[in-house]
Structure 1
Amino acid sequence: MKRVVVIAGGEVTQEDLHHIRPDDFLITADAGIEPLLDLGMNPHLAVGDFDTAGEEYLSKLEDLQISYRTLPSEKDVTDTHFALEEAIKLQPNEILLLGALGGARFDHALANLYLLEWLATTTSIPCTLVAGKNQICLLIGPTTICVTKGDTRYISLLPCSSQVVGVTLKGFRYPLNDATLTRGLSLGVSNEITQESGEITIHSGKCFCIQSADF
């Protein structure tokens, strides 16, 4: 399978949903089904305890002949975590996570960021979290990636481990050469690509790579 899109129960904009391609496999977690149905799109699988979306959605899912898995309200993983586990079973080339930030629950937003780390350390499937003008992925060294400028202006590297060692940035307004980023400090925030693409290399450590725009 080429790509699985998981739509969580946080804030989802029309701009976010425009990232969905016709051949994507769609999995919604709890209230993540609402914006999809509002747009006239049906998920291939809906999961959750549906404490947010409401039990009336179960009848709607049956009427629409949408496959769903109901989960207990008392469980060891969040609905989004469970949806990602279902996505992994499909062995896609890529996972796109929508609706994972925003909304009233900051604890869920932070937990969803940690899920990027869980995915990166337990699978080889790349996952990108998209929320409005922000695209977030997790990098684990040693690695080198090429990032394109696109519609985003800023790129920030925020350590997830205590330190990220051997950071080299090419094609950026503020280049780095074999630098060390320390968690809690802001050295890696608000850099800019000066060309059509830039290169990021890290030797060791884990960090969030956030591409964002403020317009």
Structure 2
Amino acid sequence: MNNILELPQLIAKFSYELPKNQTVLISGGNPPDVQWLKSICENKNIFCADHGIDICKEADIKPLQLIGDGDSATSEAWQWAVDNDVTITKVPTKKDVTDTQLALQIIDDKYPASTVILTGAWGGRFDHAFSTIFSFNGMLNKNFCGCIADEKEILFFLHNEEHLTLNLKQTPKAISLLPLGGTCSGVSINGVYWPLDQVMLNNNLPYAVSNEVNNKENTIWISQKQGILGVYLYFE
């Protein structure tokens, strides 16, 4: 079963089969490390949202498509996309969705079954990060799955009875479980300093934060029974 997603920091094993098509969406937040970015872009479809084209230009990674209104991308990077025959979807500045939300919709339309790594999403404005996290989560199903990641931060999503095994190549500074949909029940985590067994987490008091790896195998096991659970890792 194709249920493995590999990043430079870890290997994630999901409880369901992942779509074979793999896509990277580069958004306009904090730019990821260039070498990290190049490693995850190998053999994948590359899209970028607005200022993400500056990240592509800096890393010399040609995307298949640029989606945006041009309000945050530099004119030099936009022209670089033109010169390199990147497909450009120019959208109005005044619209009901963000460039990243629109890019996610375009990817879903073009590749109805896809494993997506969204990067360049951390840092910058909190409202954009909030919108991106919940928009990404809202699109997740068995045909659209993946994570939000860069070299320092990774966020996975578990829905209802899904579970996740993380084989770590680097040890994270912190592991946090975030109830994103109100309440998560039957939550368990093992391989950490503070394990949990079939507990309930509520977003009114999200206490399962800043956990640490606590096993020689550098493996973490997370599961839940019901809810929308964010699995967040921070690397120094």
48-57 or 151-160: bigger deviation? 48-57
> Aligned partners of 1:198 and 1:56: how far apart in 2?
43
- The counterpart of 1:40, out of the listed 27, 49, 60, is 60
Write the letter of the residue equivalent to 2:158. L
Q: Distance in 1 between matches of 2:219 and 2:229?
A: 19
Aligned counterpart, 1:101: 122
Does the residue aligned with 1:199 lie in a helix, a strand or coil?
strand
Aligned to 1:67: 87
User: For residues 78-114 of structure 1, what are the alpha-carbon distances to aligned partners after superposition, in whole Å with 9 as ceiling and x for unaligned?
Assistant: 10011111221213441000111112x2211111111
Of all paired residues, the percent bearing the same amino acid is: 27
1:206 aligned to 2:214? no
After TM superposition, the structure 1 stretch with the greater mean CA deviation from structure 2, 23-32 or 148-157, is 148-157
Q: 1-side partners of 2:45 and 2:123: how far apart? A: 23
Q: Within 5 Å, which residues of 2 pair with 1:23-38? A: 23-38=43-58
Alignment size in residue pairs: 212
The aligned amino acid for 2:135 is: L
- Deviation per CA, 1:59-79: give whole Å up to 9, x if none: 433221111100111212110
What 5-or-longer segments of structure 2 have no aligned partner? 1-19
Contact 1:152/1:211 (<8 A) preserved:
no
Counterpart mapping for 1:1-215 below 5 A: 2-15=21-34, 16-54=36-74, 57-89=77-109, 90-103=111-124, 105-120=125-140, 124-153=143-172, 154-195=174-215, 196-213=218-235, 215=236
CA distance in 1, matches of 2:69, 2:176: 35
Of stretches 78-87 and 152-161 in structure 1, the one that deviates more from structure 2 is 152-161
> Structure 1 length as normaliser, TM-score?
0.90
On the 8 A contact 2:171/2:213 being kept in 1, the answer is: no
Cα drift, residue 212 of structure 1: 1.3
Determine helix, strand or coil for the equivalent of 2:135.
helix
CA distance in 2, matches of 1:3, 1:77: 24
Residues 152 and 199 (structure 1 numbering): CA distance in 2 closer, same or farther, change over 3 Å? same
* Superposed structure 1 runs of 4+ greater than 3 Å apart: 54-60
Name the CA distance, whole Å, in 2 between partners of 1:191 and 1:58. Answer: 42
Once the 2 structures are TM-superposed, how far is the Cα of residue 22 of structure 1 from its aligned partner? 2.3
Q: Structure 1 residues 19, 81: CA separation in 2 closer, same or farther (over 3 Å shift)? A: farther
CA distance in 2, matches of 1:21, 1:125: 18
| Secondary structure, aligned partner of 2:102 | helix
Q: Is the 8 A contact 1:4 1:92 kept in 2?
A: no
Q: Structure 1 stretch 204-213 or stretch 149-158: which is displaced more? A: 149-158
- Shift, 1:146, TM fit: 0.9
Task: Report deviation, 1:57.
Answer: 4.7
The Cα of 1:173 is off from its aligned counterpart by: 1.7
Offset at 1:116?
A: 2.5
Return the alpha-carbon distance in structure 2 between the equivalents of residues 123 and 76 of structure 1: 27
Q: Which amino acid aligns with 1:136?
A: L
Would you say the 8 A contact 1:8–1:29 is kept in 2?
Answer: yes
Q: Which residue type is aligned with residue 85 of structure 1?
A: Q
For the structure 1 residues 19 and 108, does the alpha-carbon distance in structure 2 shift closer, same or farther, using more than 3 Å as the test?
farther
C-alpha contact (below 8 Å) 1:98/1:130 kept by paired residues: yes
